[in-house]
């Protein structure tokens, strides 16, 4: 991502007044995309690079939780936030467990609170992106190390991205067990 590029935010709400208010408030700070339905939101996700998704919980054809449950599988990278005017505890639990949301924000939203939440969500997005790049470098380094010893890496069976994340975590904390695994290779620079 370029430094001059704006944060790309998708806001989905069936109430057009809320969409207009959001767009008027944040259009100068962010690249704002709006949709009046989950289906329209999916269309935008298919064509645009979105960093943060905000969805209303109560919409006619799909709840925000149902939408995020689909989105997290099809588009796992954007950070998800649920916005609602209702205090439904079950919706909050579902949003966290099924939609894996970052934040739950109540309507009417406070401009400063929402702006801070978007900024923090974007920082998480960037951090994950950087971690993914480091994981790819680690994977390549591991693959090259195994090749140097005449071994092949079978990505499906030998190691997965999940295992790489564990390896990366161990490297960060300098786990002695991991150090024995790397005894035959050069130190990794991440």
Res. 177: pLDDT tops 70: no
pLDDT of residue 186: 38
For residues 147 and 88, state if they share a domain.
no
Q: Do 43 and 21 contact (CB within 8 A), yes or no?
A: no
Res. 82: pLDDT tops 80: yes
Backbone φ, ψ for residue 33 (5° rounding): -120, 140
For residues 67 and 100, state if they share a domain.
yes
Which residue range(s) make up the domain with 173?
134-181
CA distances from 160 to 25, 114, 157, 177 (A): 43, 36, 8, 19
For residues 144 and 100, state if they share a domain.
no
pLDDT in tens, 26-47: 999 999 999 999 999 999 999 9
Please state, in angstroms and rounded to a whole number, the distance separating the CA atoms of residues 32 and 43: 15
Please state, in angstroms and rounded to a whole number, the distance separating the CA atoms of residues 160 and 118: 31
Which strand (E) or helix (H) includes residue 66?
helix 64-74
For residues 81 and 156, state if they share a domain.
no
Q: How many domains does the chain have?
A: 2
Say if 190 falls within a structural domain. Answer: no
Please compute the mean of the pLDDT values over residues 80-101 and round it to a whole number: 75
CATH code (residue 19): 3.40.50.2300
Question: 168 pairs with which residues across the strands?
Answer: none
* Mean residue pLDDT across the chain: 79
pLDDT in tens, 94-112: 667 665 788 888 888 999 9
Say if 41 falls within a structural domain. Answer: yes
């Amino acid at each position: 991502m370029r430094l001059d590029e704006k944060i790309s935010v998708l806001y989905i709400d069936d109430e057009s007044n809320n969409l207009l208010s959001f767009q008027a408030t944040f259009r100068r700070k962010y690249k704002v995309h709006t949709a009046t339905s989950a289906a329209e939101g999916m269309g935008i996700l298919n064509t645009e690079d979105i960093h943060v998704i905000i969805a209303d919980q109560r919409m006619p054809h799909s709840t925000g939780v149902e939408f995020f449950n689909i989105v997290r599988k099809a588009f796992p990278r954007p950070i998800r936030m649920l916005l609602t005017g209702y205090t439904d505890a079950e919706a909050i639990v579902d949003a966290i467990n099924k939609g894996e949301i970052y934040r739950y924000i109540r309507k009417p939203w406070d401009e400063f609170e929402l702006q801070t939440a978007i900024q923090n969500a974007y920082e998480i997005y960037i951090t994950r992106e950087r971690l993914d790049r480091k994981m790819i470098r680690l994977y390549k380094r591991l693959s090259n190390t195994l090749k140097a010893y005449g071994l092949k890496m079978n990505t499906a069976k030998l190691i997965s991205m999940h295992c790489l994340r564990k390896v990366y975590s161990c490297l960060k904390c300098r786990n002695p067990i991991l150090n024995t695994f790397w005894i035959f290779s050069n130190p990794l620079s991440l």
